C-alpha cells in the first residue's frame, strides 16, 4: 500500500486542468435538471478485479469545486479489490457530484489500470533478482501521477525526466561520434552514467570506460543472457526494448538487474469503475 502525494503542485494543476477541460463555463445539463439545493451521495465501486491507484485524488477534485461535505476513502492506492467493492463514497451538492463524476472516473480508471498492469509485471518476475522499471512513455502532463500508479502496482520508477539521471542513448552516441566521447563528456556532470549498448563490441567499450549501468537494447532473452555473463557484475544491467507481460519472465531470468517497459503506461487499459449517485 502507498499514498499519493496529492499536494504536489503538478498534481494540483493536473486536476485543475482536467476540471476546466470538462466543466468549462458550467455543467448545463445538471444546471437545467437539478435544483441548486439538492444534496446526494455517491459511491465509487469496482466492476472487475483491479489494483487501486489515485483514489486519494478524490478529495482534491471535490475541494477544487466546493459544495461537498464528506469524502470517505474505503481503500488506498496499492490495494487489490474485487468486483462490487466500494472504493470511496462522497456526500454533498448533487450538482457538484455530477459535474465532477467524469473527471474523477477518468483519473481512477486510468491510474488503476496502470497499477493493475504494473502488479502483473511485478508478479511475473517474482523469485528472480530482477526488478521491473517504468519509463518516460507516459501521457503528457500526467507523468508524476502515472509513475505513482506504477509504484502502487509494485514496480520501480526509472528517471522522472531528462533532468534527474544520465542515460546516454544511441542518438547521443551518433551525435557525439562514439561511446567513448559521449561518456567523456557526460563525466563532467559527476553522476553515475548509464549507456545504451546494442552489441558485444559496444558492451566491451562501455565497460572499459567504467560506466555504472549498461542498457541492453532490443536483445533477445538468449542474447541478453550471454551479455550478462560477459558483463559478469562489472556494471548493473538493464534490459529494454520489446518487453511484454509474456516475455518479461524470460528476460528476468537472464540475471539482469532490471527490465524496463513502456507498456505499463502507454498500453495499460483503463479498468472498469462505476459511480452510482442517489438523492438524500
Q: For 118-177, how does the pLDDT look when each residue is reduced to its tens digit (9 = 90+)?
A: 999 999 999 999 999 999 999 999 999 999 999 999 999 999 999 999 999 999 999 999
Model confidence pLDDT, tens digit, residues 200-252: 999 999 999 999 999 999 999 999 999 999 999 999 999 999 999 999 999 99
pLDDT band for position 1 (cuts 50, 70, 90): very low
- Say what the pLDDT of residue 4 is: 73
Percent over 70 (pLDDT), the chain: 99
CA–CA dist 250, 256 (Å, integer): 10
Residues designated catalytic: 102, 137, 169, 196, 217
- Domain covering 9-118+268-279 in this structure, CATH number: 3.90.1170.20
* Sheet of strand 86-93, all strands in order from the earlier edge strand to the far edge: 68-73, 86-93, 39-46, 273-279
CA–CA dist 60, 266 (Å, integer): 25
Residue carrying C-alpha cell 565497460:
207
Instruction: Provide Rg for the chain, Cα atoms.
Output: 23
Domain limits, CATH 3.20.20.70, in the chain = 123-266
The residue-averaged pLDDT of 104-117 equals 98
CATH 3.30.465.10 fits 123-266, yes or no: no
The residue-averaged pLDDT of 3-25 equals 92
The 3-class SS string of the chain reads: CCCCCCCCHHHHHHHHHHHHHHHCCCCHHHHHHCCCCCEEEEEEEECCCEECCCCCHHHHHHHHHCCEEEEEECCCCCCEECCCCEEEEEEEEHHHHHHHHHHHHHHHHHHHHHHHHHHHHHHHCCCCCCEEECCCCCCCCCHHHHHHHHHHHCCECCCCCCCCCEEECHHHHHHHCCHHHHHHHHHHHCCCEEEEECCHHHHHHHHHCCCCEEEEECCCHHHHHHHHHHHCCCCEEEEECCCCCCCHHHHHCCCCCEEECCHHHHCCCCCCEEEEEEEC
- Say what the pLDDT of residue 113 is: 98
CB-hemisphere CA count at 13 Å for 75?
A: 23
Q: Is the CA virtual torsion 225, 227, 231, 235 positive or negative?
A: negative
pLDDT band for position 2 (cuts 50, 70, 90): low
Rounded to an integer, what is the distance from CA 3 to the centroid of its chain? 14
Rounded to an integer, what is the distance from CA 156 to the centroid of its chain? 9
- Cα torsion through 55, 56, 62, 67, rounded to 10: 100
Cβ atoms of 187 and 181 within 8 Å: the answer is no
Which cell numbers in the block locate residue 150? 506504477
Domain limits, CATH 3.90.1170.20, in the chain = 9-118+268-279
- Say what the pLDDT of residue 257 is: 98
pTM above 0.75, yes or no: yes
Whole-number average pLDDT of the chain: 96
Amino acid at each position: 500500500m502507498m499514498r499519493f502525494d496529492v499536494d504536489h503542485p503538478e498534481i494540483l494543476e493536473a486536476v485543475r486542468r482536467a476540471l476546466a477541460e470538462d466543466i468549462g463555463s458550467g455543467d448545463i445539463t445538471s444546471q437545467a435538471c437539478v435544483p441548486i439545493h439538492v444534496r446526494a451521495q455517491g459511491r465509487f465501486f469496482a466492476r472487475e478485479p483491479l489494483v487501486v491507484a489515485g483514489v486519494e485524488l478524490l478529495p482534491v477534485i471535490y475541494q477544487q469545486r466546493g459544495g461537498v461535505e464528506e469524502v470517505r476513502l474505503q481503500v488506498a492506492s496499492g490495494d487489490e479489490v474485487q468486483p462490487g467493492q466500494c472504493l470511496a463514497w462522497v456526500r454533498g451538492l448533487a450538482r457538484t457530484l455530477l459535474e465532477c463524476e467524469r473527471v474523477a472516473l477518468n483519473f481512477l480508471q486510468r491510474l488503476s489500470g496502470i497499477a493493475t498492469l504494473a502488479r502483473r509485471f511485478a508478479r511475473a518476475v517474482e523469485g528472480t533478482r530482477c526488478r521491473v522499471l517504468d519509463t518516460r512513455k507516459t501521457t503528457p502532463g500526467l507523468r508524476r501521477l502515472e509513475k505513482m500508479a506504477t509504484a502502487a502496482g509494485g514496480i520501480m520508477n526509472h528517471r522522472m525526466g531528462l533532468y534527474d539521471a544520465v542515460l546516454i542513448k544511441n542518438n547521443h552516441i551518433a551525435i557525439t561520434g562514439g561511446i567513448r566521447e559521449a561518456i567523456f563528456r557526460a563525466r563532467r556532470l559527476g553522476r553515475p552514467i548509464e549507456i545504451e549498448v546494442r552489441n558485444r563490441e559496444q558492451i566491451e567499450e562501455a565497460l572499459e570506460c567504467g560506466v555504472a549501468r549498461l542498457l541492453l537494447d532490443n536483445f533477445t532473452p538468449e542474447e541478453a543472457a550471454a551479455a550478462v555473463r560477459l558483463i559478469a557484475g562489472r556494471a548493473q544491467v538493464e534490459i529494454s526494448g520489446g518487453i511484454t507481460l509474456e516475455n518479461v519472465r524470460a528476460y528476468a531470468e537472464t540475471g539482469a538487474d532490471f527490465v524496463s517497459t513502456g507498456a505499463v503506461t502507454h498500453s495499460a487499459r483503463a479498468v472498469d469503475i462505476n459511480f452510482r449517485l442517489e438523492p438524500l
